[in-house]
Structure 1
Amino acid sequence: MSSNQHSPPRGASATYEIVFDGGALGNPGKGYGSYIVSHGGADIQHMRHEYGDNVTNNQAEYQTLIEALAWLASKLGSTASETSVHVNGDSQLVLNQLMGRWKVKNQGLRPLHHKAIGLIRQFRDVSLVWHSRDHSMRRLGH
C-alpha cells in the first residue's frame, strides 16, 4: 500500500472527485487498485492497494472504490452528509450496478455492492460517471 495524502477541506459547499481503477493479473489473480481523491483541482489522496490472490477484475474495481469512499467519509466525518462527490471510473459494470441500471448477478460482488451503496449514502449526493480506460491510465498510471 502506498499513499500520498493531505487533509481534505471541509464545508457545506465542498465537492470532491474520485478517480478509481482496479484490476487483476490473471482474472482471477493478484488484485490491485488505485484511486485519487481531489478537491478544487488538487489531489489530496493518492493510494494504491494490493488485494492478494484469486481476485477478479470486478472485485478489485469495487474494492478500490470502497477504499476511496471510506477514506473520504472518515476524513470528512459528520460533514460527509453535506458533501457532493463525483466518482469517475472505467468499469461500466460497477458504475451501472451502483446506479441501479444493471442487476448484481454475481454472488461474489453482492457484498461489495452493498458496502459501496452504504458508503455512497453517507454523502449528500454522488454522481457516477464512466470514462475511458485511457483516462484511468493517464490519471492513475495503470
Structure 2
Amino acid sequence: MGTTQATTARDTTSTYEIVFDGGALGNPGKGYGSYEITANSQVVRHQREDYGDNVTNNQAEYQTLIEALKWLAMNLGASASSTRVVVNGDSLLVLNQLLGKWKVKNEGLRPLHQEASQLIRKFHNVALIWHARSNSVKRLGH
C-alpha cells in the first residue's frame, strides 16, 4: 500500500540568493552596481548597472539591491509570495538599516530604503546577511 506525504510550506518554498554590490567613482560620482541571482547554485541572472553622475556609494548600494529585488519579483510574479530570498552584501549600512538596527538619517537614502523595504515584503521570507567585501569581489568582480 502506498503512503501519502503531506506537503508543508517549507516544501513548496523556493529559495533564491542575491549577491549585490554598488559603488561610486568619486563618492559622489559615477554610480554603478552589480548583482547576481542564483537558484539551486545556478546563476539565473548576472547584471551590471550604471546610475549616472553625482551618486554616493550608499545610494548605489541601495539602488543595486532594489534592481535585483525588482527583477526577481517581476520574474516570479505571484509565486514571489512563496519564495525565500537570501540577500548577501558587504554594505553594513544598507543591511542594518533594512533590518531596523540602524536609523536612516540621510534624506537621500530614505526613499531608497522605503522602496527596498516594500520590495522585500513581496517575498515569503528575506534573510539579509553581511559578508566580507572579498566575497562580493569574487562573485561580482568589484
What is the SS of the residue equivalent to 2:12? coil
Structure 1 residue 13 displacement after superposition = 2.1
Q: Which runs of 5+ in 2 are unaligned?
A: 1-10
Larger radius of gyration: 2
The answer on whether the counterparts of 1:31 and 1:51 sit within 8 Å (CA) in structure 2 is yes
The answer on whether the counterparts of 1:23 and 1:56 sit within 8 Å (CA) in structure 2 is yes
Q: CA-to-partner distance for each residue in 1:81-139, whole Å, 9 max, x for gaps?
A: 00000000000000000000000000000000000000000000000000000000000
What's the counterpart of residue 20 of structure 1?
20
2:117 equivalent to 1:117: yes
RMSD: 0.9
> What one-letter code is carried by the residue in structure 2 that aligns with 1:99?
L
Q: CA-to-partner distance for each residue in 1:20-69, whole Å, 9 max, x for gaps?
A: 00000000000000000000000000000000000000000000000000
What TM-score, normalized to structure 1?
0.92
In the alignment, the residues of structure 2 paired with residue 13 and residue 42 of structure 1 have an alpha-carbon distance, to the nearest angstrom, of: 17
What is the SS of the residue equivalent to 2:60? helix
2:53 equivalent to 1:37: no
Q: How does 1:1-142 map to 2 (within 5 A)?
A: 12-142=12-142
What TM-score, normalized to structure 2?
0.92
